[in-house]
Structures are given as C-alpha cells and as structure tokens.
Amino acid sequence: MTDRSEMFDRLKGLIAPFNKKGVDVSETTTFAGDLEWDSLTVMDFVAEVEDSFDIIISMNLQAEIENVGQLVDAVTKLTAA
Amino acid sequence: MTDLFSKFDALIAQREGLLATGVKDPFSLVMEEVKSPTVAVVNGKETILLGTYNYMGMTFDDDVIAAGKKALDEFGAGTTGSRVLNGTFQGHKECEDALKEFYGMDHAMVFSTGYQANLGIISTIAGKGDYIILDIDSHASIYDGCKMGDAEIVAFRHNDVEALEKRLKRLPADAGKLVVLEGVYSMLGDVAPLKEMIRVSKEAGAMILVDEAHSMGFIGENGRGVAEEQGVLDDVDFIIGTFSKSVGTVGGFCVSNHPKFEIMRLVCRPYVFTASLPPSVVACSAASIRKLMHNSNKRGHLWENSKSLHQGLRDLGFQLGTPNAQSAIIAVIMPDLEKGAAMWAALLENGLYVNLARPPATPAGMTLLRCSLCAEHSSEQVADILDRFERAGKAVGII
C-alpha cells in the first residue's frame, strides 16, 4: 500500500508543472478529460516520466492509460521489471 | 440509432465557424488551368504557385511528357493489376532500374504512392516483439504504418539526439529495432541531424529507415537527400521516397542494399494488394529520375530562391519556422487559425497560392503558411511573392 501511495505521490509531483488548471489530482483523474491535456502536453509529460524512472512507455501502452491510477499501475509494473 | 458521424461534430462546427467569417474554404481549392510548374489559374485569376512541392519543376519537362505519351500509346492507360500478378510492365522495371542507379543501391521497389511505401515497409519489417523508434513529428504515413503493424512504438522529441539515444538504451538489447527518421520535416522545413542520430542508432544495433521525400533531387551532391549531404547514406538501411515532389508524377519507393530485400515483394501487403502505377506514370517517372541525376544548375537556383525568400520574409517581419533556409520549404508561422486562414485568403486574392497547414498535421498546435519553392521560380517571381506577402500581411494586420 505504502509503495502504491509513494508512486502516486511521485507521479502527482511530475503532473504538477503540467497541471495548468490546478485540478485536484486523484487516482481517477483523467488526462484528456479532467486535465485537458493535448497531445503535445502528453508527449512532454510522458518524456518526463520516462526520464525520471528510466523506463519506456510505448505509444501502444499510452493508448491504454486514461487516468492517473492506470499510470500508477503501469509505471509500477515497468519499474519492477 | 447512433449517428456514426457525431464524432466529427466539433470539426464541422469549427469549419462552419471559420467559413462564417467570410473566408473562402482553404481546403477545396480548384486549379482551373495549370500553365507551368509555377503558374495556375485559380478562381479565374492567374496565380503563382508556392505550395506544390514541385521542387524541380519536372511536371512540364518536355522529355518527361514525351516518355509518358509514348508509354500511353504503346502500353495503354492502365495495368489493371497488382505488381506481383499482371501489373509489372517493362516500364516498372525501368523505373526501378533508374532508382537503383540514382541512389547507387542494389534494390528498388516502386509503390503506387509514397504513403503506401511507408505504410508497407514499416508495417512489414517491424513485427510483434520488435520496436519502432520514431520522431514525434513524423509524417502521417509513418504513424499509419506503425498502427498497421504489430511492433511496439516509441516516440522521441523532435530532432533530439539525446532523447533518441536514451530511449534506445532502455530497450531490450536483443529486440529487433527500427529507427524511423526523415531527412527534411515537411511542416517547418527543418533538417534532421541524421549523422548523429544514425550513429547512436547503429550503436544500439538498430536498423534505420529515412524518409527523404522532401530532399530527393536537390539536397546532397547527387540529389540523394540529407543522408548523402551528411555523408551517412551508406549507413541507412532503407530510404523511402516519393515521385509526387521532385520527380513530378505520383508513386512511392523504397531503395535498400539489404541482401534479402526482394522478399518484400511477396510479404508487403500495400505492395501486393493494390493495382500498380499506370505505364505512362512510370515512364514519366523514370525519365524524370534520370534527368534529376544531372541537375546541379537547377539545384543551385532552387537554393538561391529558398534563401532569398527566407531572408525577404524575415526582413518583412514574419515569424519563420527555421532560423535559416534549410530546405525548399519555408514555413511562415501564423498567430492562430483565423488569422492564418485570413492571410491565406488575402494571398490568394493577391494571386499567390501557399499551403495552409493546421493541427493536427502541424507540430505544437501551430497554424502555418507553408511555402515550397520550385527551381523554375524566376528571381522576378520571388520578388513578386515577397511583394504579395507584404501587401497581404499588412491588410490582415500580421506585420
């Protein structure tokens, strides 16, 4: 549990500079709907997450990630491998 | 019943909103007469063409047209068949021979369009478990090729060598990797640092595909493109190109030195499951490619045109996509879509045609007026173009 909330906090920290609207970020917050990110913002954010965790989030995987909780799951899985 | 078209409502509304401002529809223009590679009649008015990618002006070349007419007479209007069945005529082989000679490569494969060349090669050579690493600003045909295949797709920031290198290093060492790059990126007209990108890609054990659609015919000593210009053509595994720019016809191709390349003809679906190019088109293309091998004077003049247009537009106060002229594309950045559409219409009123490019085709959500120069534009025409840009820019309030 602690691991998951740590991962959530870390990702929330990475979301913050891109959270121009000051949306309250939870696990169910969606990137396209709630945060209203366009494809350019998504790209910058993904690059930031990839470099922070030294991982690759392929575009195939990105297509399946709609909210913050799903991102937490995906990054947890990628960093465990 | 759910109307399947409701997903387009936002776009329909945006388009109607734009047309309501009184702007003519920029995406339904008709060329009523085409007088030369640089002049057409649009809305009854003689118009200078500055958005056709007809870089070398081969569309009206006497030898090219004569070759096409002869093939039309001798081989008929169409092939009515696939390249692998009844659709390979003598002209298709001659066209592939011309390409092999042009690039100095062992294999050449001609597709019906450049779009299909990217679609076919990318989706076929990178399969399940392989990785495609591509520049985020890649052309739609590259993205569609990725979507059609089963590989994992990894994007990196535009022209960023370090971002590419980092991502390559994170991938499994033994996985198949294809790095997809473009010589000239068509939206801003900027050139890729191919030399460094190819070096880091080779170090990571990746194969490399370079789309040279917007550089063939005039960049590099023999017009082979940016890879030639930067001295790394031998390190490129696959060059993709098109006939619908410098060559002046329609069609696409891939050239390669890969010893097993010929198997592509049997496994590449966008090559197999479509009709081949008409005999007249391959004949025109072959004649054009052979002429493009010996064209240094025309290339020199095209570069002069590009440099003087870039300098002139900058002096007028327009914001441009590149700090200097890097190709035959000069992108003028517009403040927003409405101003861009107004400027586009004002230029057309002044007898000048450019491309209006807008998101999602453009990077960073930009609206662009994309100008592509031709070796057949005279210096007087370039001066005329600048004059029209000044008038339209002032009328719309951009400069």
Note the Cα B149 to chain centre separation in Å. 22
Any chain B CB within 8 A of the CB of A63?
no
Under 8 Å between Cβ of B324 and B310: yes
CA distance B44 to A78: 61
Write the pLDDT tens digit of every residue in B71-84: 999 999 999 999 99
pLDDT at B196 exceeding the cut of 80: yes
Residues 362-391 of B with CB under 8 A from A: 363-365
Q: Do A50 and B167 touch (CB under 8 A)?
A: yes
Percentage of the residues of chain B whose pLDDT score is greater than 70 = 100
Closest partner residue to B170 among A38, A56, A60, by Cβ?
A56
Under 8 Å between Cβ of B230 and B260: no
Any chain B CB within 8 A of the CB of A36?
no
Q: Do B166 and A40 touch (CB under 8 A)?
A: no
The residues facing B353 across adjacent strands are B49
Closest partner residue to A40 among B154, B167, B365, by Cβ?
B365
Q: Do B153 and A38 touch (CB under 8 A)?
A: no
How many beta carbons lie within 10 A of that of residue B113, not counting itself?
18
Q: Phi-psi region for residue B164, left (φ > 0), alpha (ψ -120 to 50) or beta?
A: alpha
Measured between beta carbons, which residues in chain A are less than 8 angstroms from residue B171?
Answer: 56
Q: Do B167 and A56 touch (CB under 8 A)?
A: yes
CA distance B139 to B174: 28
CA distance B339 to B395: 11
Reduce the DSSP state of residue A81 to 3 states and report it: coil
Does the CA dihedral B280-B285-B291-B295 come out positive or negative?
Answer: positive
Q: Do B163 and A47 touch (CB under 8 A)?
A: yes
Q: Do B364 and A43 touch (CB under 8 A)?
A: no
CA distance B145 to B123: 5
The residues facing B211 across adjacent strands are B182, B240
DSSP one-letter code for B273: S
Sequence-distant (6+) residues with CB within 8 A of B188 are: B321, B322, B329, B331, B363, B368
Mutating which of B130, B150, B152 best tests the A interface, going by the most A Cβ atoms within 10 A?
Answer: B152
Any chain A CB within 8 A of the CB of B148?
no
Smallest Cα–Cα separation from B254: which of B145, B116, B373, B376? Answer: B116
pLDDT at B102 exceeding the cut of 80: yes
φ, ψ dihedrals at B355, nearest 5°: -90, 135
pLDDT at residue B333 in the model: 97
Q: Do B153 and A59 touch (CB under 8 A)?
A: yes
Write the pLDDT tens digit of every residue in B323-351: 999 999 999 999 998 899 999 999 999 99
Q: Do A60 and B153 touch (CB under 8 A)?
A: yes
pLDDT at residue B351 in the model: 97
Of all helices (H) and strands (E), which one includes residue A14?
A: helix A2-15
pLDDT at B273 exceeding the cut of 90: yes
Residue bearing the bigger pLDDT, A1 or B76 = B76
Measured between beta carbons, which residues in chain B are less than 8 angstroms from residue A59?
Answer: 146, 153-155
pLDDT at A1 exceeding the cut of 70: no
Write the pLDDT tens digit of every residue in B152-168: 999 999 999 999 999 99
Mutating which of A36, A56, A57 best tests the B interface, going by the most B Cβ atoms within 10 A?
Answer: A56
DSSP one-letter code for B363: G
How many beta carbons lie within 10 A of that of residue B44, not counting itself?
8
Write the pLDDT tens digit of every residue in B111-165: 999 999 999 999 999 999 999 999 999 999 999 999 999 999 999 999 999 999 9
State the alpha helices, DSSP H only, in chain B: 9-20, 62-75, 90-103, 114-125, 140-148, 161-170, 194-203, 226-229, 264-267, 269-272, 279-292, 296-316, 337-349, 379-396
Any chain B CB within 8 A of the CB of A24?
no
φ, ψ dihedrals at B253, nearest 5°: -155, 165
Residue type, B121: I
Of all helices (H) and strands (E), which one includes residue A40?
A: helix A39-53
CA distance B207 to B203: 10
Residue in the structure block whose two tokens are 């064209």: B295
CA distance B180 to B279: 31
Percentage of the residues of chain B whose pLDDT score is greater than 90 = 93
Any chain B CB within 8 A of the CB of A81?
no
State the alpha helices, DSSP H only, in B171-214: 194-203
Any chain A CB within 8 A of the CB of B172?
no
CA distance A80 to B387: 62
Reduce the DSSP state of residue B137 to 3 states and report it: coil
Smallest Cα–Cα separation from B99: which of B111, B84, B83, B87? Answer: B111
Measured between beta carbons, which residues in chain B are less than 8 angstroms from residue A60?
Answer: 152-153
Write the pLDDT tens digit of every residue in A8-50: 999 999 999 999 989 999 999 999 999 999 888 999 999 999 9
Query: In the structure, what pLDDT confidence band is assigned to residue B25 with cuts at 50, 70 and 90?
Result: confident
pLDDT at residue B22 in the model: 82
Q: Do A43 and B155 touch (CB under 8 A)?
A: yes
Measured between beta carbons, which residues in chain A are less than 8 angstroms from residue B363?
Answer: 40
Measured between beta carbons, which residues in chain B are less than 8 angstroms from residue A40?
Answer: 363-365
- The answer to pTM > 0.90 is yes
CA distance B143 to B166: 21
Question: Taking CA atoms, what residue in A is nearest to B364?
Answer: A40
Any chain A CB within 8 A of the CB of B170?
yes
Write the pLDDT tens digit of every residue in B219-234: 999 999 999 999 999 9
Measured between beta carbons, which residues in chain A are less than 8 angstroms from residue B156?
Answer: 47
Write the pLDDT tens digit of every residue in A2-12: 689 999 999 99
pLDDT at residue A38 in the model: 87
Measured between beta carbons, which residues in chain A are less than 8 angstroms from residue B157?
Answer: 43, 47
Measured between beta carbons, which residues in chain B are less than 8 angstroms from residue A38?
Answer: 365
Smallest Cα–Cα separation from B288: which of B67, B86, B123? Answer: B67
φ, ψ dihedrals at B323, nearest 5°: -70, -25
Question: Taking CA atoms, what residue in B is nearest to A40?
Answer: B364
Q: How many CB pairs under 8 A join A and B?
A: 31
pLDDT at residue A2 in the model: 63
pLDDT at B86 exceeding the cut of 60: yes
The string of DSSP codes covering B11-38 is HHHHHHHHHHTT---TTS--EEEEEETT
Any chain A CB within 8 A of the CB of B361?
no
Question: Taking CA atoms, what residue in A is nearest to B149?
Answer: A60
